Amino acid sequence: MKVEALPAKPGEHHLHNYEEQSASFDWSEVEKEFSWSKTGKINMAHEAIDRHAESDRKNKVALYYKDQHRHETYTFYEMKRMTNRAANLLKSHSDLEKGDRIFIFMPRSPELYFLMFGALKMGLIVGPLFEAFMEGAIYDRLDDSDAKSIITTPELLPRIPKDRLPNLKTIFIVGEEGESEGHIDVLKHLHSCSDKFDVEWLDKEDGLVLHYTSGSTGKPKGVLHAQYAMVQQYQTGKWVLDFQEQDIYWCTADPGWVTGTAYGVFSPWLNGVTTVILGGRFSPDAWYQAIEDFGVTIWYSAPTAFRMLMGAGDALVKEYDLSTLRHVLSVGEPLNPEVVKWGAQVFDKRIHDTWWMTETGAQVICNYPSMAIKPGSMGKPVPGVKAAIVDDQGNELPPNQMGNLAIKKGWPSMMRQIWNNPQKYDSYFLNDEWYVSGDSAYMDEDGYFWFQGRVDDVIMTSGERVGPFEVESKLLEHPAVAEAGVIGKPDPVRGEIIKAFVALVEGQEPSDELIEDIRQFVKKELAAHAAPREIEFKDKLPKTRSGKIMRRVLKAWELDLPTGDLSTMED
């Protein structure tokens, strides 16, 4: 597929010469930034909040929070005091100790962040959960990690099966509930707790966050990150997000998703950057309004959100002043060239794709402001991290060959454990050298990486390998198509045939003519062998809460198979 490259952005950037930086970079430079270079000890909450509160950034805004009911602002100094209070509250009402697991199960609010960083100040391992989780999903995660405590709201409390979780000793409740044995009313105590707290000094390999993520089979697995992840989260904030002192940064991700922790709060606050957090549900108006109200300069979101904004129409964009935006980024799913083109048209901004995973802990393959973007490509590896396309034996493949997207073991923010499951952890690594991502991709002759699909999603039809993403992207360019998910359907003759599930834009009616029209469109614009032989219309496609199309669910529907763990699927 040939799409014109978008030239580099003019101006001064932290990463001004990708090749040079990649050749010479050493992570030990970044380590100097943090307290362990002086004391040998570390704590994320200190590095992200307290050290700024003790510097010239003391009165700088750390957090703009807004939802339907609340609109609040906290400086780094105020964040330090509130997180100290939260730490004192957690400590005085429990017997939680360093390394214990505490989960956070509540909608976004300032208290969520006070408590998250309060827990980090105590040296606890924080497990963020999506507020939409139901009882079974909560049980699996708390049971597997042997959690001692959870923070929630009165509304969500009934979904916590306390009687089946004997080690869950203390439930902190944000909102009016009244106290009882093992139930602590956070708001009743928070403001009277002392605003002084001595953080628990940790080793850089001590635990930080535990994110559960679903694979294609089995129960969700707990991905544990160490404090040391901050090195890469901090540095990618500079190179990829291009943080400058005056920026107003907005990452739209929920903390239940790794993006909402690593880049929702850790990366910007490690860099001392003002961060916007918007509560409530997605709505195009509220989102554009937030950019205008806060004067957002850097905006990090996901393809599914961009596609929904695209669907809301370009006229809406013109009703808002979005002129403060200077840098737009995307993560979570392949960023269709169609969306990149739209971004360039309506915002006059290139959308920078970034690739990484819960397991990688921070961004790995990215587009940088100082580099040309090839729409549809994820970009190039972060300096200091080696990525490659390898075959199933771990041999590096030459350019333009599809294979396993792999990362050389040992990058700073690499996961440290799959909780309770060392075999699973080991199974990610090939020859003790490569972390194998489960994504298939190829690298072109210029070193740009191109996503093709999850390895188990790649389609083999009449001897040709087809990445579902390329077909989905082409489908999306058809004017009637709002969303598309593509799978391989077993076929006695061709091995597999390509089947597309399509949601239509509003006002379009399914018909046989439309099916044929869409088929011909892909055939003409992409390739005959890539045109779906079957197209089925759906009102909605199954997606995760972070916006990923769940092809395995489409496949299970198609083949009448069990759908597996659905806890991360959106409503």
Which chain residues interact with ligand 6R9 by CB under 6 A?
213, 257-259, 331-335, 353-358, 378, 437-439, 451, 454, 546, 548
For ligand 6R9, the closer of residues 434 and 537 by Cβ is 434
Shortest distance in whole angstroms from residue 104 CB to ligand 6R9: 18
Buried b (16+ CB within 10 A) or exposed e, 142-175: bbbbebbbbbbbeebbebbeeeebeebbbbbbbb
**Minimum CB distance to ligand 6R9 smaller for 170 or for 404:** 404
Encoding tokens for residue 83?
């997180």
Distance CA 153, CA 172 (A): 8
Euclidean distance between the first and the last CA atom of the chain, given in angstroms as a whole number: 34
What is the spatial distance between Cα 504 and Cα 490, in angstroms, rounded to a whole number?
25
For 124, which DSSP code? P
The least distance separating ligand 6R9 from the CB of residue 333, rounded to whole angstroms, comes to 5
Residue 149 or 301: the one with the smaller Cβ distance to ligand 6R9 is 301
- Closest separation in Å from C-beta 452 to ligand 6R9: 9
> With helix as H, strand as E and coil as C, how does 172-241 read?
EECCCCCCECCEEEHHHHHCCCCCCCCCCCECCCCEEEEEEECCCCCCCEEEEEEHHHHHHHHHHHHHCC
Pairwise CA distance, residues 231 & 477, whole Å:
39
- Integer Cα distance of 13 and 349 in angstroms: 16
Instruction: Output the smallest distance, CB 147 to ligand 6R9, in A.
Output: 21
- CB nearer to ligand 6R9: give 172 or 355: 355
Strands 248-251 and 274-278: parallel
Closest to ligand 6R9 by CB, 332 vs 542, is 332
Minimum distance from CB of 331 to ligand 6R9 (Å)?
Answer: 5
Q: Which is nearer to ligand 6R9, 148 or 551 (CB)?
A: 551
Nearest distance from C-beta of residue 184 to ligand 6R9, angstroms: 32
Phi/psi region, residue 340 (left: phi>0; alpha: psi -120 to 50; beta: rest), is alpha
Question: Between residues 229 and 480, which has the closer beta carbon with respect to ligand 6R9?
Answer: 229
Q: How far is the CB of 391 from ligand 6R9 (least distance, A)?
A: 18
Q: Count CB-CB contacts under 10 A for residue 25.
A: 17
Provide, rounded to whole angstroms, the least separation between the CB of residue 456 and ligand 6R9. Answer: 11
Least distance to ligand 6R9, CB of residue 261, Å: 11
C-alpha distances in Å from residue 213, one per residue of 131, 141, 357, 387, 420: 15, 10, 10, 22, 14
Kind of pairing, strands 170-173 and 183-185?
A: parallel
For ligand 6R9, the closer CB: 13 or 543? 543
Could you tell me how many helices (H) and strands (E) the chain has, helices first?
A: 20, 27
Segment (H or E) for 286: helix 284-294
**Distance (Å, rounded) from C-alpha 170 to C-alpha 162?**
10
> What Å distances lie between residue 525 and 19, 305, 485, CA to CA?
34, 25, 18
Nearest to ligand 6R9 of 74, 356 (CB atom):
356
> CA nearest 251: which of 106, 46, 259?
259
61-66 and 365-366 strand pairing: unpaired
As measured in angstroms, the least distance from the Cβ of 367 to ligand 6R9 is 9
Question: In angstroms, what is the minimal distance from the CB of 488 to ligand 6R9?
Answer: 16
Tell me whether residue 308 is exposed, middle or buried, using C-beta atoms within 10 angstroms of its C-beta: 0 to 12, 13 to 18, 19 or more. Answer: middle
Report whether 200 contacts 123 (CB < 8 A): yes
For ligand 6R9, give the closer residue by CB, 160 or 331. 331
State in angstroms the smallest separation of the CB of 320 from ligand 6R9: 26
CB 389 to ligand 6R9: min, Å: 14
Beta-carbon contacts of residue 405 (< 8 Å; ≥ 6 apart): 387, 389, 436, 437, 439, 440, 441, 449, 451
Q: What contacts 561, CB < 8 A, 6 or more positions away?
A: 555
CB of 359 to ligand 6R9, least distance (A): 7
Q: Which is nearer to ligand 6R9, 354 or 413 (CB)?
A: 354
Pick between residue 83 and residue 568 the one whose CB is nearest to ligand 6R9. Answer: 568
Q: Quick one: 114 or 451, whose CB is closer to ligand 6R9?
A: 451
| SS3 category, 28 | helix
Rounded (5°) CA angle 247-328-12: 55
User: Which residue's Cβ lies closest to ligand 6R9?
Assistant: 358
**Torsions phi, psi for 562 (to 5 deg):** -65, 145
Q: How far is CA 527 from CA 1, 457, 466, 471, 531, in A?
A: 10, 19, 10, 9, 7
Nearer to ligand 6R9, 329 or 482 (CB): 329
